Chain A
Amino acid sequence: MKQYDAIVIGAGILGCMTARSLRRWNISTLLLEKEEDVCRGITRANSAIVYAGYDNKPGSLKAALTVRGNADMEALCEELEVPFSRCGSLLVAYEPEAVPKLEKKLSNGRKNGVPGLKLLSGPEAEAMEPMLKKGVAAALYAPSTGTVNPWLLGIAAYENALQNGAEAILGREVLAIRPCPEGYQVETREEVYQTRMVFNCAGAFADRVQGLAFAPEVKLKLDGAEYLVFDRLAKKPERVIFYQTQSSGKGITAIPCTEGNLLIAGVRKDMTIPYATSPEGLVEMLDRVKELLPETDTGLVIRSFGAVRPNPYRDSGESIPDYVIENPAPGFYSLIGVKTPGLTCAEGLGMLLAQRGAEYLSAEENPDFDPKRRGISEKDNDILCQCEQISRAEILEAIRRGASTVEAVKRRVGSGMGRCQGSRCSGEIARLLEEYGHGSL
């Protein structure tokens, strides 16, 4: 039986960051993921926003991690060679009754230590973002808000974890966890592993994974939101625009992504099938985009998708606003209910878990830990993805680093993300994958 100091369950951005952080100490680490690639769950369908931290309750773990995660994002993205844009954001209100809400968030944000917050008048906001529909009552400007590609950040952390000696097995689902005198036995269909610690980062399945060993005190209710991606040619605001009407449930968020696309996020809603969208919802969102950003050419949508949010609640039915780190037994840590702004806090949460693990084992620091991960910068002149101008060399490097499907290549280099959505390049990419020993189309 293979033995590890730590097994991390779930290779979303939280699991990848946790595995990376664990390797800052001499803690042998195995990362297990049930999907055939990393970041295939909640991480893949995300708003890409690095939140400033004015929404969260002062004194909460969420508030502290968000403000710190936001401040540290440049350095993290530099280490991991992932594009990051500190574009700022405006929370806009068109109804005078909504202005007190903005003031409340301003005071919240100041208590949380959010830098540079400013309440703008309508004309000031309209001058800052001329695309906005006229008639803004007031806006909360947060210069520290940013955007980052969520799955790219997760993949980068994953690659860096491996580079620092973590092991990972994809396509391996954990079926049972048994406490034993030395720690835990973690069972998959193929193999059983012995570990001193378990880090449950299973995202939407975190309550169930904890349930394999201990009754979870916190359970998850999933809901979701719908998203629209626009062609890079679509006009977009410079900053993230949050728009929430008084009659809640009618807002949208406009996000200028680091790749140059406009991303529109709808409001939270019930979702019976995870990651599914509804045709009515998508059509309705287009109307709202037109309402907030009247110049937007709604004919330029190239993709839509649904996101999932895990909402933690107690058996009593009481919902929990903060992140929950459960520690039901020595050496067992569960991250349950990490939702917005989970992307902003991912590194901080991973670090928090790793620190607790290091304390538990009295582990020594790993002197060889290297936080630098090299992005994919190989380029040649053979352009395979016409829309995004991605070359063969980049695609081959993604395959060399472990991408085994057209989708996995897409997430690493951006091929097929453009206006034709891979209809022209995916055949050739599938052929290259086959040539390098990865299945067929």
Chain B
Amino acid sequence: MDHYDILIIGGGAAGVSAARAASGRRVLLADRGPALGGVLLQCTHRGFGNNQTGPEYMEHLLRDFPESVELALNTTVLSVSPEKTALLSGREFGRREVSFDHLILAAGCREIPAGALPIGGTRPEGVYTAGQMQALMNLRGYVPEGPAVILGSGDLGLIMAKHLAEAGLEVTLVEKKDSCGGMARNRRCLSEYPIRLLCGDTLAVLHGEKKLSGCTTAKGVYLPCKSLLIAVGLRPEQELIAHLAQPEWLTLCGNCRQVHPMVEAVVQEGKQAGAAVKKAIEVCL
């Protein structure tokens, strides 16, 4: 079994930043994707760092990436044990168990799916999470059918509203709160495109036998639509360590610790995590 000083799970902004800061120690960085970057790779809009796109910003983060960091791409971490071992499953190398002294979990977050919400009606095709649609459009060139409804006007909801409006779809945003959420720069799309915003309301019922035909809000507004995007929130991806009782060898950083609205904060947290763990190891030596 190979041994590492530090195993980092997740090669997005947090994991890459942690790996940079921890380099010098024996580090293994595992990511399920074919390339480092995580969710940034599907964020083709601008607004990262120096008004860069997600992939551009990632390129910047990866400049002079230390060669000493060992990468395990296309790799899923199946489990982590209290004995400080992890079982990895990789497309290229198969199953592999590794041991480590420290684990940095930088697995990001996942979206709350429609199924988790008390929305009634049928279960037709045409319902996606916002990030799922972002990946489908930006990485796979898919364009959904309009009109579209987006539930949730946070940053991701707004970014997708703009995306869909740019693709020529009629878009309605439904927001539970009394005013639109998200950052000012993401709200700008509301004045630039004919996006309808319904505040103080939420979705109650979906219609359509096989394919989505519309939805009705809690206040009884019927919205015909062929696509529905759920953008109601993100949950830190912590299930891999749910059975562990916060051992001292475990550090969480980035969106899997707490969802951050800005990538810069994620990078900062990753750096701090990597540096702190490296220091802890060196103090013990």
Q: Is the CB of B110 within 8 A of A383?
A: no
Which chain A residues border B94 with CB–CB below 8 Å? Answer: 381
The closest CB in chain A to the CB of B78 belongs to A389
Taking the complex as formed, is A278 at the interface, i.e. its CB lies under 8 A from any CB of chain B? yes
Q: Is the CB of A420 within 8 A of B113?
A: yes
CB < 8 Å neighbour of A233 from B113, B140, B242:
B242
27 A-B pairs in the complex with CB atoms less than 8 angstroms apart: A273-B122, A275-B122, A275-B123, A276-B120, A276-B205, A277-B120, A277-B121, A278-B205, A282-B120, A283-B118, A286-B118, A301-B116, A302-B113, A381-B93, A382-B91, A386-B76, A389-B76, A419-B110, A420-B113, A420-B129, A421-B115, A423-B113, A423-B128, A423-B129, A424-B110, A424-B132, A427-B139
Which chain A residues border B95 with CB–CB below 8 Å? Answer: 381
Q: Is the CB of B136 within 8 A of A381?
A: no
Taking the complex as formed, is A281 at the interface, i.e. its CB lies under 8 A from any CB of chain B? yes
Which chain B residues border A383 with CB–CB below 8 Å? Answer: 32, 76, 78, 89
Q: Is the CB of B118 within 8 A of A304?
A: yes
Contact flag A305-B123 (CB < 8 Å), given A383-B32, A423-B111 = yes
The closest CB in chain B to the CB of A278 belongs to B120
The closest CB in chain A to the CB of B204 belongs to A279
For the complex, give the distance between the alpha carbons of A349 and B116 in Å: 36
Distance between A290 CB and nearest chain B CB, rounded to angstroms: 14
Taking the complex as formed, is B90 at the interface, i.e. its CB lies under 8 A from any CB of chain A? yes
Which chain B residues border A286 with CB–CB below 8 Å? Answer: 118
Distance between B62 CB and nearest chain A CB, rounded to angstroms: 23
Q: Is the CB of A229 within 8 A of B115?
A: yes
Which chain A residues numbered 139 to 192 have a C-beta less than 8 Å away from chain B? none
Interface 1/0 per residue, A422-441 and B, CB below 8 Å: 11101100010000000001
CB < 8 Å neighbour of A382 from B74, B114, B121, B129:
B74
For the complex, give the distance between the alpha carbons of A47 and B122 in Å: 18
Number of interface residues of A (CB under 8 A): 36
The closest CB in chain B to the CB of A421 belongs to B113
- Knowing that A391-B89, A423-B129, A427-B136 are A-B contacts, what are 18 other residue pairs whose CB atoms are under 8 Å apart, sorted by A's residue number? A275-B123, A276-B121, A277-B120, A279-B120, A282-B118, A301-B115, A301-B116, A303-B113, A381-B91, A381-B94, A381-B95, A383-B32, A389-B76, A389-B78, A407-B125, A419-B113, A419-B239, A441-B136
Which chain B residues numbered 144 to 176 have a C-beta less than 8 Å away from chain A? none
Q: Is the CB of A427 within 8 A of B135?
A: yes
Taking the complex as formed, is B131 at the interface, i.e. its CB lies under 8 A from any CB of chain A? yes
* Centre residue among A279, A303, A304, A422 by max chain B CB count within 10 A: A279
Q: Is the interface of B mostly helix, strand, loop or mixed?
A: mixed
For the complex, give the distance between the alpha carbons of A280 and B205 in Å: 10
Interface 1/0 per residue, A227-239 and B, CB below 8 Å: 0010001000000
Partner-A contacts on B (CB < 8 A)? 32, 74, 76, 78, 89-91, 93-95, 110-111, 113-116, 118-123, 125, 128-129, 131-132, 135-136, 139-140, 142, 204-205, 218, 239, 242
Interface 1/0 per residue, A378-417 and B, CB below 8 Å: 0001110010010100000000000000010000000000
Which chain A residues border B91 with CB–CB below 8 Å? Answer: 381-382
Which chain B residues border A427 with CB–CB below 8 Å? Answer: 132, 135-136, 139-140, 142
CB < 8 Å neighbour of A276 from B116, B122, B131:
B122
* Centre residue among A233, A407, A419 by max chain B CB count within 10 A: A419
Which chain A residues numbered 296 to 336 have a C-beta less than 8 Å away from chain B? 301-306
Which chain B residues border A391 with CB–CB below 8 Å? Answer: 89
The closest CB in chain A to the CB of B94 belongs to A381
Q: Is the CB of A420 within 8 A of B242?
A: no
Which chain A residues border B129 with CB–CB below 8 Å? Answer: 420, 423
Which chain A residues border B204 with CB–CB below 8 Å? Answer: 279
Q: Is the CB of B136 within 8 A of A281?
A: no
Which chain B residues border A278 with CB–CB below 8 Å? Answer: 120, 205
For the complex, give the distance between the alpha carbons of A286 and B117 in Å: 11
Q: Is the CB of B132 within 8 A of A431?
A: no
For the complex, give the distance between the alpha carbons of A306 and B209 in Å: 13
Q: Is the CB of A279 within 8 A of B110?
A: no
CB < 8 Å neighbour of A423 from B110, B205, B218:
B110
For the complex, give the distance between the alpha carbons of A420 and B107 in Å: 14
Q: Is the CB of B205 within 8 A of A279?
A: yes
For the complex, give the distance between the alpha carbons of A407 and B123 in Å: 12
Q: Is the CB of A302 within 8 A of B116?
A: yes
The closest CB in chain B to the CB of A379 belongs to B89
Which chain B residues border A441 with CB–CB below 8 Å? Answer: 136, 142
Distance between B162 CB and nearest chain A CB, rounded to angstroms: 20
For the complex, give the distance between the alpha carbons of A229 and B136 in Å: 26
Interchain residue pairs A-B with the least CB separation, the first 7: A303-B115, A421-B113, A383-B76, A423-B132, A279-B120, A382-B91, A282-B118
Q: Is the CB of A381 within 8 A of B120?
A: no
Distance between A37 CB and nearest chain B CB, rounded to angstroms: 12
Distance between A43 CB and nearest chain B CB, rounded to angstroms: 15
Q: Is the CB of B120 within 8 A of A386?
A: no
Q: Is the CB of B121 within 8 A of A273?
A: yes
Distance between B85 CB and nearest chain A CB, rounded to angstroms: 17
Distance between A422 CB and nearest chain B CB, rounded to angstroms: 8
Q: Is the CB of B111 within 8 A of A420?
A: yes
For the complex, give the distance between the alpha carbons of A301 and B113 in Å: 10
The closest CB in chain A to the CB of B92 belongs to A381
Q: Is the CB of B110 within 8 A of A420?
A: yes
For the complex, give the distance between the alpha carbons of A424 and B136 in Å: 10
Contact flag A431-B110 (CB < 8 Å), given A233-B239, A273-B122, A421-B115 = no
For the complex, give the distance between the alpha carbons of A40 and B140 in Å: 29
The closest CB in chain A to the CB of B240 belongs to A386
Distance between A186 CB and nearest chain B CB, rounded to angstroms: 24
CB < 8 Å neighbour of B89 from A282, A381, A407, A431:
A381
For the complex, give the distance between the alpha carbons of A426 and B93 in Å: 24
The closest CB in chain B to the CB of A35 belongs to B210
Which chain A residues border B93 with CB–CB below 8 Å? Answer: 381
Q: Is the CB of B119 within 8 A of A279?
A: yes
Which chain B residues border A420 with CB–CB below 8 Å? Answer: 110-111, 113, 129
Contact flag A381-B90 (CB < 8 Å), given A282-B120, A302-B113, A424-B110 = yes
For the complex, give the distance between the alpha carbons of A407 and B115 in Å: 15
* Centre residue among B76, B93, B140 by max chain A CB count within 10 A: B76
Distance between A435 CB and nearest chain B CB, rounded to angstroms: 13
For the complex, give the distance between the alpha carbons of A386 and B89 in Å: 11
Distance between A296 CB and nearest chain B CB, rounded to angstroms: 15
For the complex, give the distance between the alpha carbons of A83 and B113 in Å: 27
* Centre residue among B94, B116, B140, B239 by max chain A CB count within 10 A: B116
For the complex, give the distance between the alpha carbons of A408 and B132 in Å: 19
